Chain A
């Protein structure tokens, strides 16, 4: 698909904010990050699509099955795409007073993980920050701490080298949907 195919796709138009229909803009952010490929996309969904997501108990089927959407994820993260790529996903609800997670560097099954956050009025003090790490001289060093802000997507590449990432201690219920591709 070229960029006009993405911008003309009806499903993508239903979901994505107009400025994000073309994933090549986001791809450049993924490309320029030093050593680790990830992108942060604010206002990712249209308002009505975001509301559909808030009400969903599972990842909506078309966000897992629609091929142009899976292709969009690959272009946005600058990952090679093949027609055999599949997506799977699940809601992530992290309760308040959760101690957080440790960075995971194990080679995963997936190539891309995309987190779509639905937390209104999220503050830094609420914790649950998505932390991005980089291994330097044998040590894991923090490079960024991202608020799981409402309607923010964080797209991470997990191949060929997974991006270590973690969630800081959480103080307020934290909601997201995770979509993985392989």
Chain B
């Protein structure tokens, strides 16, 4: 399913969003027109992403969060350097929030924002996620997948009053090839079970980033750090750019949100 490419296509999308009982209820009117988001994502050549604040109707988002807290989460990505607890909900239409996240029009909307093509429309994975207090963080990685190519990720945050010092910042990285004379990379194998505190201190580094087929040394330069504040959405593309990202360790607060991948 290609993104709308003509002015009439996008006008149809906007009209459909406004007329959809699901999307118009969930998404605040200021964001019914996805074009400003799409233009900002397009302007970012190094890493195609965009964020939108105050995105959802708060009553709906609060219901999603209340539902989130009733779910049984378990440790996710066991054995990997991505410390969180999560539960998949894409096969559970009774869970609050899935009426939006499973809606094909929502998929069209997010694909348009990122200029992505959904080669497997309808296919999605949704996880409700919680990083516990003192979580170790997420190693720099791309969500690109060789066997099941992801088109994009949508991240939604549920953390009222989150401060930069609470940690859990989403970091976005520009990766490039290592060069002769570069120091030895920070190695994946050296950090099992350890808090990834270096992410908080080093805006550039040589590191074995987790790429499509495994870890490999790369020059990493952090482009931005994003506070996971309540009702902030982040849209991240994996077709145009690999969109390497990581998450810094959390402090004393749990960090809650959801991630959705489309294919």
Contacts and interface: CB of A to CB of B under 8 A. Distances in A.
SS of B interface (majority)? mixed
A144 B229 contact: no
Given A19-B54, A28-B163, A35-B203, A124 B43 contact: yes
B164 A146 contact: no
Nearest to A126: B39
A146 B52 contact: no
Interface residues of B, number: 28
Nearest to B167: A32
Contacts of A42: 36, 52-53
Q: How large is the interface on A (under 10, 10 to 19, 20 to 34, 35 or more residues)?
A: 20 to 34
B227 A122 contact: no
A35 B222 CA distance: 10
Given A19-B54, A147-B39, A33 B45 contact: no
A124 B39 contact: yes
A25 B229 contact: yes
B204 A28 contact: no
Nearest to B204: A136
B188 interface: no
Contact of A149 (B30, B36, B204, B221): B36
Contacts of B204: 136
Interface of B: 30, 35-36, 39-40, 42-46, 52-54, 162-165, 169, 203-204, 221-227, 229
Interface of A: 19, 25, 28-29, 31-35, 42-43, 121-124, 129, 134, 136, 141-147, 149-150
19 contacts: A25-B229, A28-B163, A28-B227, A31-B163, A31-B164, A32-B169, A32-B226, A34-B222, A34-B224, A43-B30, A124-B39, A129-B43, A136-B204, A141-B221, A144-B44, A144-B224, A145-B43, A145-B45, A147-B36
